[in-house]
Amino acid sequence: MPHSDLVIIRGGGDLATGVVQKFWRSGLAVLVLEAPAPTAIRRTVSLCEAVYDGRAKVEDVECGRIERLAEIAACRDRGLVPLLVDPFGESIGELRPLAVVDAVMAKRNLGTRADMAPAVLALGPGFRAGTDAHAVIETCRGHDLGRLILQGEALPDTGIPGEVGGKGAERVVHSPAAGAAVGLCRIGDLVEAGQPLCRIEVPGEDARLVPAPFAGLLRGLIRDGLAVHAGMKIADVDPRTDVRWQGISDKARCVGGAALEGFFYLTGLVGRSPIRLGGLAGR
């Protein structure tokens, strides 16, 4: 059955959460699709935590996990953004939404196609506008951050995070080995250089301590107990100790606004409003 007012957002990490807020605040009905075991490290600003806890709240947006498509309406009636575990987007064909936004941030296309909805947008590298999606949003920090790309691709992934407070690649912490992560600090803690952030429990070996690369604020840390592989991103330290770590980031707000702009541009809603905006119901 088609849902003429539904926007499906693939992914519930920190950037995707910025997208969700923009669409939800604009009165559009939103459904988030996530993986069965999300590995977001900025967990306090990621709605995907609802996969584990049943609910997650970031600023004024609260998300609730559902198990079946039939629960979408009831979840929305409670003022929640519904989240469904559906990593391959199998429900998209059945729901026939107005728009799909790929915000997985996998740096490659994991199955999004331009024929999934009348408006299909994708965040970051790995997609070609006009082929994989109708529009692509630039996610690389700099002059073009948030640019709506209607032909071509976003800048390629460099593997190097954008510089923040004078720190670039070193602010992202990677696992030294494969194993299970156990946190020794909490997101929001002020940490010193060399302070253990977590340990990686490696089967048959001593646990590996993972130190902070410099003094700063622990902005992200992988969830306790998750299996990690060597080289996997597991923590994020920000040299700015006054950063609002509990709020959506400037980058996520910019990208979210760009996705909303792309939605209105592609669907021609401005000044015409041809669809019923149902997301306000139940707030």
CATH code for 3-158+249-267? 3.40.50
Q: What pLDDT, in 10s, does the model give residues 126-141?
A: 999 999 999 999 999 8
**Fold held by 169-238:** OB fold (Dihydrolipoamide Acetyltransferase, E2P) (2.40.50)
Q: Is the pLDDT of residue 16 over 80?
A: yes
Measure CA of the first residue to CA of the last residue in the chain; give whole Å: 25
* Region 234-251 average pLDDT: 93
Domain assignments of the chain as residue spans, ordered by start: 3-158+249-267, 169-238
Q: Is the pLDDT of residue 278 over 80?
A: no
* Region 191-213 average pLDDT: 96
Q: Is the pLDDT of residue 219 over 60?
A: yes
Q: Is the pLDDT of residue 271 over 70?
A: no
Q: What pLDDT, in 10s, does the model give residues 224-233?
A: 999 999 999 9
Q: Is the pLDDT of residue 259 over 50?
A: yes
Q: Is the pLDDT of residue 98 over 50?
A: yes
- Helix ranges (DSSP H) in the chain: 14-25, 50-53, 72-77, 90-95, 250-267
Q: Is the pLDDT of residue 275 over 70?
A: no
Q: Is the pLDDT of residue 274 over 50?
A: no
- Residues listed for the chain: 283
Please tell me the least confidently modeled range out of 39-48, 124-133, 153-162.
153-162
* Region 30-54 average pLDDT: 97
Residue 80: how many CA atoms within 13 Å on its side-chain side? 19
pLDDT confidence bin for 269, thresholds 50/70/90? low
In this prediction the pTM is: 0.90
The answer to whether 137 touches 121, Cβ cutoff 8 Å, is yes
Tokens, residue 175: 């696992």
Domain 3-158+249-267 and domain 169-238, same fold? Reply is: no
pLDDT confidence bin for 112, thresholds 50/70/90? very high
